[in-house]
Chains A and B, each alone.
Chain A
Amino acid sequence: MIEFPWASAAIVIPLAGALLCGVMSARLAAVVASVSSALTAMAVAVLCWRVWNVGAFVESLGGWGAPLGIDLYADGVALLMVAMTTVVGVFITVFSLGYFRDAPDSERENSHSRGLYWSLWLVVWAAMHGIFLSSDLFNIYVCMEVVGIGSVALVAMAGSMALRAAMRYLLITLCGSLLYLLGVALIYGGWGMLDMQALGPVVEATLASEVALAAMALGLALKTALVPLHFWLPAAHANAPAPVSALLSALVVKASFYVLLRLWIDVFPAIDKAAAMMVLGVLGTVAIVWGSVQALRQNRLKMLVAYSTVAQLGYLFVAFAPASTVAGAGVAWHGVIYFAVAHGCAKGAMFLAAGAIAAALGDDDFSSMRGRGRHLAVPLVAFALAGIGLMGLPPSGGYTAKWLLLTAAARADQPVVAFVVTAGGLLAALYVFKVLYYAFARPVSGSGSDAGETGEVQAIPTTMMVAPLMLAIVAVLLGVWSAPPLHLLDIGLPFGEALGPGLKP
């Protein structure tokens, strides 16, 4: 059992599923994708179990090993991200089962595109596992490109509405990847290796390494949509088919951020990054405010959720400010990673719920939601639960993460960060309750919209109801049951000594 390459399996299984789906009819593809999702989940579960009990381990693909071969490195953080991806992924699969059966015409242009969807989705999934588990910088590049190209194709599946968004997304993701690759080249030029674990101790603070870090950070920030580099995100995320939106917002942006974090801490410990961290912190602050305000101004549900992603991604960067201090670093990094996980689940649930609402109503305009809230009870409950996570209210993963971020701010003595984190939660409340308003408001009697209120809410498949709800419950459970994930996080001291002092005061 121990000998079995479980880390590779977590990548290979969805990849194999993708290949099979590509050559099958749509109906069979759905079955294969489901089986493949289940198997992936199993593999990841075993992987978690193993890391939990044995600790971090290195798995060399094909037995070659670094520096020439490719190493997979499974430590706590990687595992947590993989687990998050898998949980969200399983629910996306469940949701898609219903979604692509009854999707509006524009989204199932021919039976071929259905099989294509499954294929692309599983490829992206596999590539994301690749990003999280790789310890090889170039391998990460390849996986990122696969994720990027796959995502663009998935966005484009939404039809004519999404084409421009997809195109812009493609350009941005390629540009970001190339900037990253530039950094990889510079690092390889300087130190002749690409393994992150090995690079950490040897990389020095030279001009080349600093330029490399800057280029990579810029590229990854572009892919993570850090304000003001977020301009591509709302259109792409909002116009994609619902499960794809969830995938992009919950997982894909996290993948690039994860790489940035790894680089930041593992590869370039030698560089003094305090000033840059402040820059990122400030940008994160701007992101929270900007994204929230924009979210509040949207007329479409999915646009609102997309801008909320812009705002929430700001938290990931705000935490760089306290992380730049010795006292705050450990808690801040914990908080950031936990936030990424919590946000992944919550945002996934939220987009799925939004998708379910849009499918039931025919479109996702707020005006068509008015007075029909009572027919949308389940997706709205899911939306509300996910919203609790976004607001950072207990009990939810968002609460735990925010608690950690605030603790970091307190330890680093940065009240501004505390204020931003708090205010961000309140801003999130504003836009979350803007949606929930429709769940509670009584239809305005006597107005001309009576016909719209009474009926015309299409029945949606059970899977589309269950998936967001379950995922939202997971997001809540992350707050009730946060000790195990946080324990997992510390396994293998993934970020070297940065996590060392950890949460212990």
Chain B
Amino acid sequence: MGVWTEYALLSAALLPLVAAMGCLFRSDARWVLAVAPFCAVPALVVALLPVGLEQVGVPWLFMGAQIGLDRTGRLFLLAAASVWLAAAIFAQSQGIGGQRAHRFFGCFYAAMAGNFLLIVAADAVTFLTGFALMSYAGYGLVVHRFDDEAIRAAKVYLILVVLAEVLLFAGAVLAWGIAGGWELSVLQDALSTAGPAATVAIAFLLCGFGIKAAMVPLHVWLPLAHPAAPVPASAVLSAAMIKAGLLGWIRFLPFGYQDLQWLGWWTFVAGIVAALAGVMIGVVQSRPKTILAYSSISQMGYMTILLALSALTPELYPAISVAVLVYVVHHAVAKGALFLSVSVVREAPRRWWSKLLEGIGLVVPALALAGAPLTTGAVAKAELKHIPDTGEGALPALFDPVLIVGAVATTVLMVRFLWVVWPRSRRREPISNIARLVWFALATAVVWAPWVIPWQYLRRATVATLEPAAIWSALWPLVVGVMLSIVFVRRHHLLSGRLEDAIPAGDLLLPVTTLLQEGRATLRFGIRVAQSALDMAVGATRRRIAEYRRFLFILEIVEARLRRQAWDWVWIIVVGAGLLTALIL
């Protein structure tokens, strides 16, 4: 480890922040756009470097920062940097932002920097710093389009961001109280000890990161925010930024340290609900990005389930962590590509080969998400299935059926997505070739990525999915899902629109906001009552003061009397008699 390694890592992570500051000089919008592709490159290079980067301290930074890049971090960084890079190039070539490009890119770069920073962070403060930077900058991405929908989405997003920040602050502080340090490994270790403080800290951290990771029921911002944001922004929101929540769980919570039943069960239930309900609600959505958002919720549900398992049976953690990593890479790439495709297919292709290529670009990531063979999706599913084999603990018996049902359901959702997004008419929204290229590369990455990423394990696992049995087990739920979709189309017109938007995007948000508004009205009423009570009290005091003033007026008369009439002798005699009495007695 050289002296400069930590600075290289830091600057790779924080380079986008420099670009973000550049955006303050808005006169130079072209420059802002021009640097877009390069901001994520150093991070990507660092992630791909074969050199190991152990944890090192940067003593002057924050409260004594610790940074490093372990395997988890490296894969998260890889996934994040790829998606950010793709989104950046896409955004640049599409000219996202128009007149307000500096604003969009400022937030974009800042969020990117935050995302990278939290990945390389090895202590709580640095992690939370990156997390906050990313979250708050994300607001700018969500609100960017600035119509009513975006404003509402951004508001919900922001409220939840603040809530998350507050919860994370409290959780981290409580965790420090047990651990006595900020290093993440120390914190995790400390939180694994039982105790009320640890329980509360874990709950706070779980919810705090859960908001970002779209854990049910804290996911409500996501189906609003993703459709509202510009396409490249939704891509990074869904593909990279919600993974930050997942990474937070992995870094802070004592998964794999000790048997934490309550944590396991809570997260398990939340995960299953997310995985299934996400699909169900997603199916009835009419807009492609909303569908993708629900798909993300459901996918994150699987990852939640994985972590839940490791809380229930800690000895499974090594296997689970690998599975999670595979899943992260897979989901980042696939979801990133799918989001970008929403923008690409706005323009129906003209030539046959371009039709073919775009068809492939559209279908492949969707298939991957459904777990089709040859893609990372199959690898991820296979990893999931392997987990029970490696452990001896009592796994929930539900696990296998859930996976199968999930695969089928995801397939249905993807069919629904393709149905909605498939170009039917010629809309003229020209898209640049570079953007198209980037999208296609990302879309096919679900196939080629395992062979490129310098991670032996992934490659071996991919090879393993190529066995006929594995292919079969990956394929049949897919087929079932497609058939089921066809049945639905025939019987229930589900896919063609009868039930469209039966559940509005943001599902739980509606009742909650109603409830909150009621509460606010009540509160206002209470405040008004208190205010009027206070006013009455103030009024009474004022009146009393006025009376006192009137009394002063009487004093004035007395004084005048004293001066004008023959009262002086009375006083002289009174004082003299008083003195004399006092002296003689």
Direct A–B contact in the complex, CB atoms closer than 8 angstroms: yes
A278 on the B face (CB < 8 A): yes
Given contacts A228-B562, A231-B562, A231-B563, contact A222 B572 (CB under 8 A): yes
* Nearest 5 pairs of A and B residues by beta carbon: A276-B582, A275-B582, A214-B580, A218-B576, A228-B571
**B575 and A221 contacting across the interface, CB-CB below 8 Å:** yes
Q: Which of B562-585 contact A (CB under 8 A)?
A: 562-563, 567-568, 571-572, 574-576, 578-580, 582-585
A293 on the B face (CB < 8 A): yes
**A229 and B572 contacting across the interface, CB-CB below 8 Å:** yes
Q: Which residues of B are found within 8 Å of A280, using beta-carbon distances?
A: 579
Q: Smallest distance from the beta carbon of A227 to chain B beta carbons, Å?
A: 9
Q: CA A226 – CA B585 in complex, angstroms?
A: 22
Give the residue of A235, A279, A294, A297 whose beta carbon is less than 8 angstroms from that of B579. A279
Q: Which residues of A are found within 8 Å of B562, using beta-carbon distances?
A: 228, 231
Given contacts A235-B563, A294-B559, contact A228 B575 (CB under 8 A): yes
Q: Which residues of A are found within 8 Å of B582, using beta-carbon distances?
A: 273, 275-276, 278-279
Given contacts A231-B562, A273-B583, contact A283 B568 (CB under 8 A): no
Q: Which residues of B are found within 8 Å of A228, using beta-carbon distances?
A: 562, 571, 574-575
Given contacts A231-B562, A297-B556, contact A213 B575 (CB under 8 A): no
Q: Smallest distance from the beta carbon of A214 to chain B beta carbons, Å?
A: 4
A210 on the B face (CB < 8 A): yes
Q: CA A464 – CA B359 in complex, angstroms?
A: 99
Q: Which residues of B are found within 8 Å of A226, using beta-carbon distances?
A: 575
User: Across the two chains, which residue of chain A brings its CB closest to B567?
Assistant: A231
Q: CA A290 – CA B559 in complex, angstroms?
A: 9
Give the residue of A175, A210, A229, A297 whose beta carbon is less than 8 angstroms from that of B571. A229
B552 on the A face (CB < 8 A): yes
User: Across the two chains, which residue of chain A brings its CB closest to B571?
Assistant: A228
Q: CA A213 – CA B571 in complex, angstroms?
A: 18
Q: CA A218 – CA B576 in complex, angstroms?
A: 5
B555 on the A face (CB < 8 A): yes
Q: CA A193 – CA B578 in complex, angstroms?
A: 28
What interface size band does chain B fall in? 20 to 34
Given contacts A293-B552, A294-B559, contact A218 B583 (CB under 8 A): no
User: Across the two chains, which residue of chain A brings its CB closest to B563?
Assistant: A231
Q: 28 interchain pairs (CB within 8 A)?
A: A175-B572, A207-B584, A210-B583, A213-B583, A214-B576, A214-B579, A214-B580, A214-B583, A217-B579, A218-B572, A218-B579, A221-B579, A226-B575, A228-B562, A228-B571, A229-B571, A232-B568, A234-B563, A235-B563, A271-B583, A273-B582, A273-B583, A276-B579, A276-B582, A276-B583, A279-B582, A294-B555, A297-B552
Q: CA A375 – CA B100 in complex, angstroms?
A: 55
A58 on the B face (CB < 8 A): no
Q: Which residues of A are found within 8 Å of B574, using beta-carbon distances?
A: 228
Q: Smallest distance from the beta carbon of A298 to chain B beta carbons, Å?
A: 10
List residues of B whose CB falls within 8 A of some A CB: 552, 555-556, 559, 562-563, 567-568, 571-572, 574-576, 578-580, 582-585
Q: CA A280 – CA B580 in complex, angstroms?
A: 12
Q: Smallest distance from the beta carbon of A451 to chain B beta carbons, Å?
A: 32
Q: Smallest distance from the beta carbon of A465 to chain B beta carbons, Å?
A: 33
User: Across the two chains, which residue of chain A brings its CB closest to B564?
Assistant: A231
Q: CA A226 – CA B578 in complex, angstroms?
A: 14
Q: Smallest distance from the beta carbon of A336 to chain B beta carbons, Å?
A: 18
Q: CA A422 – CA B567 in complex, angstroms?
A: 31
Given contacts A229-B571, A231-B562, contact A279 B580 (CB under 8 A): no
Q: CA A9 – CA B562 in complex, angstroms?
A: 43
- Convert A194-225 into 0s and 1s, putting 1 for each residue whose CB lies closer than 8 angstroms to a CB of B: 00000000000001001101110110011000
- Convert A297-320 into 0s and 1s, putting 1 for each residue whose CB lies closer than 8 angstroms to a CB of B: 100000000000000000000000
Q: Which residues of A are found within 8 Å of B572, using beta-carbon distances?
A: 175, 218, 222, 229
Q: Which residues of B are found within 8 Å of A215, using beta-carbon distances?
A: 576
Give the residue of B563, B578, B580 whose beta carbon is less than 8 angstroms from that of A211. B580
Q: Which residues of A are found within 8 Å of B580, using beta-carbon distances?
A: 210-211, 214
Max chain A CB contacts within 10 Å: which of B552, B567, B576, B585?
B576
User: Across the two chains, which residue of chain A brings its CB closest to B555?
Assistant: A293
Q: CA A222 – CA B573 in complex, angstroms?
A: 11
Q: Which residues of A are found within 8 Å of B555, using beta-carbon distances?
A: 290, 293-294
Q: Which of A206-264 contact B (CB under 8 A)?
A: 207, 210-211, 213-215, 217-218, 221-222, 226, 228-229, 231-232, 234-235
Q: Which residues of A are found within 8 Å of B552, using beta-carbon distances?
A: 293, 297
- Convert A264-297 into 0s and 1s, putting 1 for each residue whose CB lies closer than 8 angstroms to a CB of B: 0000000101011011100100000010011001
Q: Which residues of A are found within 8 Å of B578, using beta-carbon distances?
A: 279
Q: CA A207 – CA B575 in complex, angstroms?
A: 18
Additional A-B contacts beyond A214-B580, A279-B579 (16; CB < 8 A):
A207-B584, A210-B580, A211-B580, A213-B583, A214-B583, A218-B575, A222-B572, A228-B574, A229-B572, A273-B582, A273-B583, A276-B579, A278-B582, A290-B559, A293-B552, A297-B556
Q: Which residues of A are found within 8 Å of B583, using beta-carbon distances?
A: 210, 213-214, 271, 273, 275-276
Q: Smallest distance from the beta carbon of B538 to chain A beta carbons, Å?
A: 21
Q: Which residues of B are found within 8 Å of A279, using beta-carbon distances?
A: 578-579, 582
Q: Smallest distance from the beta carbon of A217 to chain B beta carbons, Å?
A: 5
User: Across the two chains, which residue of chain A brings its CB closest to B556?
Assistant: A297
User: Across the two chains, which residue of chain A brings its CB closest to B570?
Assistant: A228
Q: Which residues of B are found within 8 Å of A231, using beta-carbon distances?
A: 562-563, 567-568, 571
Q: Which residues of B are found within 8 Å of A297, using beta-carbon distances?
A: 552, 556
Q: Smallest distance from the beta carbon of A210 to chain B beta carbons, Å?
A: 5
Q: Which residues of B are found within 8 Å of A294, using beta-carbon distances?
A: 555-556, 559
Q: CA A217 – CA B577 in complex, angstroms?
A: 11
Max chain B CB contacts within 10 Å: which of A217, A271, A273?
A217
Q: Which residues of B are found within 8 Å of A211, using beta-carbon distances?
A: 580, 584
Q: CA A94 – CA B219 in complex, angstroms?
A: 84
Q: CA A209 – CA B576 in complex, angstroms?
A: 15
User: Across the two chains, which residue of chain B brings its CB closest to A276?
Assistant: B582
User: Across the two chains, which residue of chain B brings its CB closest to A234?
Assistant: B563
Q: Smallest distance from the beta carbon of B287 to chain A beta carbons, Å?
A: 61
Q: Which residues of B are found within 8 Å of A222, using beta-carbon distances?
A: 572
Q: CA A217 – CA B555 in complex, angstroms?
A: 27
User: Across the two chains, which residue of chain B brings its CB closest to A205?
Assistant: B583
Q: Smallest distance from the beta carbon of A202 to chain B beta carbons, Å?
A: 18
User: Across the two chains, which residue of chain B brings its CB closest to A222?
Assistant: B572
Q: CA A207 – CA B578 in complex, angstroms?
A: 15
Q: CA A280 – CA B567 in complex, angstroms?
A: 20
**A283 and B575 contacting across the interface, CB-CB below 8 Å:** yes
Max chain B CB contacts within 10 Å: which of A221, A232, A276?
A276
Q: Which residues of A are found within 8 Å of B584, using beta-carbon distances?
A: 207, 210-211, 214
User: Across the two chains, which residue of chain B brings its CB closest to A179?
Assistant: B576
Max chain B CB contacts within 10 Å: which of A228, A271, A280?
A228
Q: Which residues of B are found within 8 Å of A210, using beta-carbon distances?
A: 580, 583-584
User: Across the two chains, which residue of chain B brings its CB closest to A226?
Assistant: B575
User: Across the two chains, which residue of chain B brings its CB closest to A172?
Assistant: B568
Q: Smallest distance from the beta carbon of B554 to chain A beta carbons, Å?
A: 11
Q: CA A285 – CA B576 in complex, angstroms?
A: 18
Q: Which residues of A are found within 8 Å of B571, using beta-carbon distances?
A: 228-229, 231
Q: Which residues of A are found within 8 Å of B556, using beta-carbon distances?
A: 294, 297
Q: Smallest distance from the beta carbon of A364 to chain B beta carbons, Å?
A: 19
Q: Which residues of B are found within 8 Å of A235, using beta-carbon distances?
A: 563
User: Across the two chains, which residue of chain B brings its CB closest to A211?
Assistant: B580
Q: Which residues of B are found within 8 Å of A214, using beta-carbon distances?
A: 576, 579-580, 583-584
Q: Which residues of A are found within 8 Å of B559, using beta-carbon distances?
A: 290, 294
Q: CA A175 – CA B573 in complex, angstroms?
A: 13
Q: Which residues of B are found within 8 Å of A217, using beta-carbon distances?
A: 579
Q: Which residues of A are found within 8 Å of B563, using beta-carbon distances?
A: 231, 234-235
User: Across the two chains, which residue of chain B brings its CB closest to A294?
Assistant: B559
User: Across the two chains, which residue of chain B brings its CB closest to A235?
Assistant: B563
Q: CA A215 – CA B584 in complex, angstroms?
A: 12
Q: Smallest distance from the beta carbon of A274 to chain B beta carbons, Å?
A: 8
Q: Smallest distance from the beta carbon of B165 to chain A beta carbons, Å?
A: 45
Q: Smallest distance from the beta carbon of B75 to chain A beta carbons, Å?
A: 68
Q: CA A487 – CA B582 in complex, angstroms?
A: 34
Q: CA A211 – CA B580 in complex, angstroms?
A: 6
